[in-house]
Amino acid sequence: MSSPADSLLVLNPEDNIAIAKQTVPEGAEVFRDGSVRTLDTVPFGHKIATQAIRSGEPILKFGQVIGFATEDIQPGMWVHTHNVTPGELSLDYAFASEVPPDPEPITGRTFQGIRRADGRIATRNYIGIISTVNCSATSSKYVAKNFDASILEAFPNIDGVIALTHKEGCAYDYGGEQHQLLARTLAGFAKHPNIAAYVVLGLGCETAQASFMAERHGLVQLRMPGEGAEPQPLIMNIQDVGGVRKTVDRATGIIREMLPEVNAIRREPIPVSEIILGTECGGSDGNSGISANPAVGIASDLLVAHGATSILAETPEIAGGEHLLTRRAVSREVGEKLIELIDWWKDYAAKFGCTVDNNPSVGNKKGGLTTIYEKSLGAIAKGGSTALKGVYRYAEPITQKGFVVMDSPGFDSVSVTGMIASGANVCVFTTGRGSCFGCKPVPTIKIATNTPMYEHMIDDMDINAGRILDGASVQEVGEEIFEKVISVASGEKTKSEAQGIGDEEFSPWTIGPIL
């Protein structure tokens, strides 16, 4: 056990706070020269003032403003929500002023992936039942239940038959923004390389018509069992087929015929450039921006150097740190697209009497995060240090290689759903509080920000980035994450997959009124 004098982490010479690497009791000398003695008990991962801060003065972490003191703060005081407010920031976006050069290309590295007939690259092999509306969700689940482990054990190359169900699909403007978003999301999953084959189930009278999705997004079933005709989407509406039982029986029969063909795949060497990494942080704490997120940033940079793609999402968790990304944007246009999203979110939150600073959850605050600015500065570390190549709408297909941003809420399931619909074929998920997450059909690697939580939730965490707090380098852990991404893309099961997690996390974003 380290002494209190070894328990602080100073992140930047300009900071006026430090981070507690362990819970520090009141009255402890936290600097070896005795210059600071704690005036409060400071919990693990929380902040302590290292110098006097007057009321109204900025609180600095990472060398950036994370909020403003609401009262005079003395050296040794606990710095948190009781004496800090977000306030208003004045940020210089300096568009495309600090665009880093592309990293030196790394070639030759491969993973064991699946190449579909049309050239798309998969990391898993699922059959999907795409529900257009909540009214067909139960039928979709009934179909999936007909393909449990006892059935699929005869088809060892199939990872599962999953029902992609949700709670919407009707009572909004036909062809409007919400309809377009849901259609884009559902189509993104149907067309995802990890979905080898699919059936679309609708009710028949809903707003979210399957035909709309198929026509707008070019859905086709690449191969239809027992037919040599031009492939068409496999769409069934319960009202057309004649009820739930008939629909379930028909869909079950079609999928049963698909099984041998879907099972007949083999993994082969695929360039790492085909990986599209979705990055997420949830159940964050004060260590997220210090250990796990920067380590993911290293892995992101390595993937970009290999010609791959890394996605940063959760737009509200960019607010307060967006100026660091606009400077890295490859053009003013790309940077301005990001600011348009930030402004949209501020306006969107205000319509409901909220602000983006309502984002930090109860658990986030217990873990040491005080404001959205602090959370954002840590969250964007997942994006590494390479140039920002593009900004995409929620669930919009991502075609750009390199580091990109996709618009999404901070809510984990909604955010990851969007990244998968955009094409992510592996996800990494950092957590300091212990989020238990998976989202089929894409594997999710769980990364703990601190060792105590990693050891406490060992069955759920894949990597312990808390080693950084114990002395390991960010580079070392980042390389470990990179290697894990390649292993998982090659078929290694994550701990969430081993527990079967991922059937309930499909969660399209609802942005508009339900009428």
Percent of the chain with pLDDT over 90: 88
**What mean pLDDT comes out for the span 376-403?**
97
Q: What is the DSSP letter of 465?
A: G
**Going by C-beta distance under 8 Å and a sequence separation of 6 or more, which residues neighbour residue 278?**
311, 313, 416, 419, 420, 424, 426, 427, 428, 442
Residues 279-290: pLDDT tens digits? 999 989 899 999
Cα–chain center distance at 136: 27
Residues 236-273: pLDDT tens digits? 999 999 999 999 999 999 999 999 999 999 999 999 99
> How many helices (H) and strands (E) in the chain?
15, 21
Percent of the chain with pLDDT over 70: 96
Q: Is the pLDDT of residue 29 over 90?
A: no
How many angstroms separate the CA atoms of 185 and 86, rounded? Answer: 34
Under 8 Å between Cβ of 497 and 461? no
Q: What is the pLDDT of residue 126?
A: 98
Task: State both tokens at 309.
Answer: 């793609």
**Going by C-beta distance under 8 Å and a sequence separation of 6 or more, which residues neighbour residue 8?**
18, 19, 20, 21, 24, 30, 31, 48, 50
Q: Is the pLDDT of residue 226 over 60?
A: no
- Residue 160 pairs in a beta bridge with 126
How many angstroms separate the CA atoms of 192 and 423, rounded? Answer: 6
Residues 280-319: pLDDT tens digits? 999 898 999 999 999 999 999 999 999 999 999 999 999 9
Q: Is the pLDDT of residue 357 over 80?
A: yes
pTM above 0.85, yes or no: yes
**What mean pLDDT comes out for the span 205-220?**
94
Q: Is the pLDDT of residue 349 over 50?
A: yes
Residues 427-473: pLDDT tens digits? 999 999 999 999 999 999 999 999 999 999 999 999 999 999 999 99
Residues 91-105: pLDDT tens digits? 999 999 999 999 999
How many angstroms separate the CA atoms of 29 and 36, rounded? Answer: 6
Q: What is the pLDDT of residue 2?
A: 46
Q: What is the pLDDT of residue 4?
A: 53
Q: What is the pLDDT of residue 363?
A: 86
Least confident of 94-103, 230-239, 332-341: 230-239
Least confident of 7-11, 38-42, 333-337: 7-11
Mean pLDDT of the chain: 94
How many angstroms separate the CA atoms of 144 and 125, rounded? Answer: 15
